[in-house]
């Protein structure tokens, strides 16, 4: 992971915006970044890379070339370079020195100091094996069982850049597309999955998650992947599909399983939330929430996973809003059922030597409980006793 106190530098470019944009992409790929942020400031053009979920500063760029850099990006993305007052979206393909083609999704946002540009590096995404997700043996077995059932609803969640989509793709690898009809709806399609019909939403043409999901249901699907649930119609349609013989997988920006349940219910107006809770309790099979933790050598970050497998107790907590917060305790006690907390995941990563104690304590949901778990396994250093 790049050192935030010693940002990576671009090669000398002599103010050429064409070369500069090329260098930004080259640098981002070399740093294994998922996104490039080009942000106007009063006195410079700030560039930041999102690497393993964290934004890292890159050498700033002079305002003398700021306008030409933004224009160059907009030209590559086939945007209207004269339009600076409205957001725009586009796609870019750039060939690097080694003849590698890098595909990017581009978006602009008009701000008070100028247009901000964000580039998502699509070709940087790699498939992660399900067995490499860092699951305890029981959790791995139970989650595999849940994903390979013929119907139900499965959600992955976490903050921006936490690797939700990578986990979703890892789950999808458990499904054989030769035997079932698998259709996805994504924004954008980040990795091509062999044998899977993948659709990409486009707000420009009106092809939204809601309209796309309705269309998919007319395509005789068995498994449906919805890249993100963003509105009531999409959530309601996904729940109905999961209740009527389809396996549906999707993502949310929530911090844990309790918030995942609450967020799904909150999509619905108050007079529909009771029924939404009943539907969710019947359809939801499991949820995986994750946070990224720096590795012991500082070279990258790995996900710590909370896993909730829905059983009768969890269903009762979903239906009763006064008991929903009890789900956290059920997960903590549910190792037999294949559940695991963030802190249990951290202990496993510590035992494997993947992360160090400092990172674990900083990331822990409850540092005191984590310390107790480590004491029980004889893993607490003398300085912490």
Q: What is the pLDDT along the chain (385 residues), one digit of tens a residue?
A: 555 556 666 554 455 888 889 989 999 988 888 899 999 888 888 999 988 778 888 878 888 888 899 999 999 999 999 988 888 888 888 888 776 788 888 999 998 888 999 998 875 556 778 888 878 889 999 999 999 999 999 999 998 778 888 888 899 999 999 999 999 999 878 777 889 999 988 877 888 999 999 999 999 999 999 999 999 999 999 999 999 999 999 999 999 999 999 999 999 999 999 999 999 999 999 999 998 888 888 777 888 999 999 999 999 999 999 999 999 999 999 988 899 999 999 998 898 888 999 889 988 988 888 888 888 888 876 556 5
Q: Which of 16, 55, 27, 53 is nearest to 39 (CA)?
A: 55
Strands 88-95 and 197-200, bridge-based pairing: unpaired
Task: Note the pTM of the prediction, 2 decimals.
Answer: 0.78
User: Matching CATH topology for 17-124 and 130-384?
Assistant: no
User: What sign does the dihedral 343-264-234-118 (CA atoms) show?
Assistant: negative
CATH class held by domain 130-384: alpha beta
- Domain locations along the chain: 17-124, 130-384
CA gap 96, 99 in Å, rounded: 5
DSSP symbols for 26-44: HHHHHTTEEEEEEEE-SSS
Return the closest-CA partner of residue 70 out of 83, 55, 57, 51: 83
The CATH number of domain 17-124 is 3.40.605.10: no
- Condensed to tens digits (0 to 9), the pLDDT of residues 182-228 reads 999 998 787 778 899 999 888 778 889 999 999 999 999 999 999 99
């Amino acid at each position: 992971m790049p050192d935030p106190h010693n940002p990576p530098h671009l090669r000398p470019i002599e103010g050429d915006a064409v070369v500069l944009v090329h260098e930004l992409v080259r640098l981002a790929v070399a740093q294994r970044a998922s996104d490039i942020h080009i942000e106007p400031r009063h006195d410079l053009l700030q560039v930041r890379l999102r690497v393993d979920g964290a934004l890292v500063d890159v050498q700033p760029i002079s305002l003398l070339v700021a306008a030409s850099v933004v224009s160059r990006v907009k030209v590559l993305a086939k945007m209207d370079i004269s339009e600076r007052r409205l957001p725009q979206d586009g796609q870019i393909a750039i060939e690097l020195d080694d003849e590698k083609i890098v595909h990017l999704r581009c978006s602009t946002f008009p701000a008070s100091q100028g247009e901000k540009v964000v580039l998502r590096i699509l070709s940087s995404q790699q498939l992660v094996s399900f067995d490499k997700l860092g699951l305890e043996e029981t959790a791995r077995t139970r989650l595999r069982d849940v994903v390979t059932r013929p119907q139900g609803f499965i959600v992955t969640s976490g903050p921006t850049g936490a690797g939700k989509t990578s986990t979703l793709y890892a789950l999808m690898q458990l499904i054989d597309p030769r035997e079932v009809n698998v259709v996805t709806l994504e924004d954008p399609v980040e990795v091509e999955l062999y044998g899977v019909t993948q659709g990409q939403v486009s707000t420009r043409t009106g092809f939204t998650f809601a309209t796309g999901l309705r269309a998919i249901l007319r395509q005789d699907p068995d498994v449906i992947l919805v890249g993100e649930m963003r509105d009531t119609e999409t959530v309601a349609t996904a729940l109905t599909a999961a209740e009527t013989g389809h396996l549906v997988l999707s993502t949310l920006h929530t911090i844990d399983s309790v918030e995942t349940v609450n967020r799904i219910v909150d999509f619905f107006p108050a007079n529909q939330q009771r029924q939404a809770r009943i539907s969710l309790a019947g359809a939801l099979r499991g949820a995986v929430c994750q946070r990224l933790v720096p590795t012991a050598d500082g070279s990258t970050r790995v996900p710590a996973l909370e896993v909730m497998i829905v059983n009768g107790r969890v269903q009762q907590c979903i239906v009763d809003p006064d008991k929903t917060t009890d789900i956290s305790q059920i997960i903590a006690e549910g190792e037999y059922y294949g559940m695991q907390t963030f802190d249990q995941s951290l202990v496993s990563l510590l035992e494997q030597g993947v992360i160090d104690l400092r990172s674990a304590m900083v990331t822990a949901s409850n540092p005191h409980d984590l310390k107790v778990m480590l004491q029980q396994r004889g893993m607490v250093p003398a300085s912490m006793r």
